[in-house]
Structure 1
Amino acid sequence: MRGRRLLIVVIVIIAAAVIVFFRTYDGKPGPLPSADEIKAELNEYDSEADAAVVLNNVKLTEQQVFIPFISSQGSYGMGFLKWEKRKWGVARVDMSGRPEVRVTDHSDPSERYVVWNNNPLEKVKAFRFYLIRDRNAGMSNGVYYYVPRVQMEMLVNVTEQPYGAMPFPEEWADFMREDEKLGEAPAASIMDNLFSQSYSRPSTIYVGYLPVYAKDAPQLGSSSKSGDEDTEFLMIMNETDLERPKS
């Protein structure tokens, strides 16, 4: 009798494990929905999307796809599809089309894409993207530190690429990794080394962009954006935010 009860318990445990596995296992991504199906899903997810034309589907990873689209009112929006629970679904819709960062792996700085879908009526000629680390100085746990400013630039011609998904520059990702390591580096003093202590060196890194407009570009109002856990917003910058080499 005890053996039979034990067998029943084992069967129940295995059955429960199988159920949990199939509920959480995403499996290999299937084919993408058609353009009409994508439009319907975008509009169902956000009624304000009013998607009328799907411009493209840009694969970011096997499980994530970027969808630039145009609404029936002429707005240039962005949709994001994600393969979860063995099906494709809309993860987010953004109606501004303005640049942002899409994160595909939060543990790796290189697993990011700068995405945009620019409306030609805004007459943007280019986006200048920047990775910036602000300079800083002070003391942490009795150790003086100085953090020099870093400014890296990437230019994208929007007239040639009205929409896009630019992989995060490897130089930027490498810098972010090194900065994180330096922030956790051991203190330099003899006493600190003896006791294997470390200090925290504050560092602020952010990504922003500066739109370069044509001379006859219209005055544009601000637009609001709301994101999800895979969205990193970009700061809209001015020339005064940048540092240029002195001639």
Structure 2
Amino acid sequence: MTKKKLWSLGIFIILLSIIVYWFYFSMPTSFPTNEQLVEEMNSIFPEATASIIQDTIPVDERHVLVPFISKKDDYGLSYWVWKNHKWKVASIDTKGEPMLWKFNINDPSSLYLVWNIHPKDQLSSIHFYLIRDRGYRITEGIEHYDPRVQMEKRVFAQEKSYGLMQLSDDWVTFMNAYIKVESAKQPNLFINNFSPKQDMFFGWIPYDQTNKETFPESSVNGTRYSDGEVNLEYVMILDKGDIEIPR
């Protein structure tokens, strides 16, 4: 190969590297305006009928949570990601019932609870739970008993309809221990889910202004758009019968 061809090849590789970096790895630009957010949401998912952007909440430099109010007076959530050198809406929920936003399923510290509760439901607080059911089994003649684990976090829902909460340190510590044990027992079943046996789950109980359990009719059973770029999981709504009160 001649020096001229080598020179041309070198220039081509450098230019290609610059283009690849610019397209895939460049730092995000400024976030779109509220008007631009509404326009893109309604263009991609007309069912959203987005009208008012309530807030823009950065999770990290490439992910932003955007709660919104629709023309139908629904309180929803949209999830934005920086990809291919642009901000794009990756998922839209027309209702704001609590969801678990999972960035890395093998790292509990990267999990966030998100919600946007309609004021009509008049909630005073939301109680979130992490529960591991008790279990009993016999393996090769050896009895095994797993005690129940129930962890609770309370958030107040009166000041803002929406919220984003990273899992607390005590929840993360427990889940890391759980993942370590379960992945050792079932390495092939523990790749895509924290709980292959479905014995650990997240839940929530909403309480009204009189501190009584209630059902948030205006905040559930919406519709969704997703392009698969974000990993979301519904948080199960519970009632007091699902909760054990320490004696």
Q: TM-score band (shorter)?
A: 0.7 to 0.9
RMSD of equivalent CA atoms: 3.0
Equivalent in the alignment of 2:207: 212
Aligned AA (1:231): L
Task: Calculate the TM-score normalised by the size of structure 1.
Answer: 0.81
Stretches of 4+ moved more than 6 A in 1?
216-219
The answer as to whether partners of 1:183 and 1:202 remain within 8 angstroms in 2 is: no
Equivalent in the alignment of 2:28: 29
User: Per the alignment, in what secondary structure is the counterpart of residue 98 of structure 1?
Assistant: strand
* 1:36-115 map, 5 Å: 36-115=35-114
Inter-CA distance 181–203: structure 2 relative to 1 (3 Å threshold): farther
Q: Gapped runs of 5+ residues in structure 1?
A: 187-200
Q: Quote the offset at 1:151 in angstroms.
A: 0.2
**C-alpha separation in 2, matches of 1:77 and 1:239:** 26
**C-alpha separation in 2, matches of 1:208 and 1:125:** 17
The answer as to whether partners of 2:204 and 2:238 remain within 8 angstroms in 1 is: yes
- The answer on 1:234 being equivalent to 2:235 is yes
**C-alpha separation in 2, matches of 1:219 and 1:56:** 22
**C-alpha separation in 1, matches of 2:36 and 2:81:** 14
The answer as to whether partners of 2:134 and 2:146 remain within 8 angstroms in 1 is: yes
User: Per the alignment, in what secondary structure is the counterpart of residue 114 of structure 2?
Assistant: strand
Instruction: Give the greater-gyration-radius structure (CA).
Output: 1
User: Per the alignment, in what secondary structure is the counterpart of residue 88 of structure 1?
Assistant: strand
Q: What do the CA deviations read for 1:26-48 (whole angstroms, capped 9, x no partner)?
A: 31111000010011111112101
* 1:150-165 map, 5 Å: 150-165=149-164
Equivalent in the alignment of 1:191: none
Equivalent in the alignment of 1:223: 221
Inter-CA distance 44–218: structure 2 relative to 1 (3 Å threshold): same
Q: How many residues align?
A: 231
Equivalent in the alignment of 1:192: none
Aligned AA (2:155): V
User: Per the alignment, in what secondary structure is the counterpart of residue 183 of structure 1?
Assistant: helix
Ranked by relative contact order (alpha carbons within 8 Å, sequence separation 6 or more), the top structure is 2
The answer as to whether partners of 2:94 and 2:222 remain within 8 angstroms in 1 is: no
Q: What do the CA deviations read for 1:123-173 (whole angstroms, capped 9, x no partner)?
A: 122110000001112134565322111000000110123211111112111
* 1:5-16 map, 5 Å: 7=6, 14=13
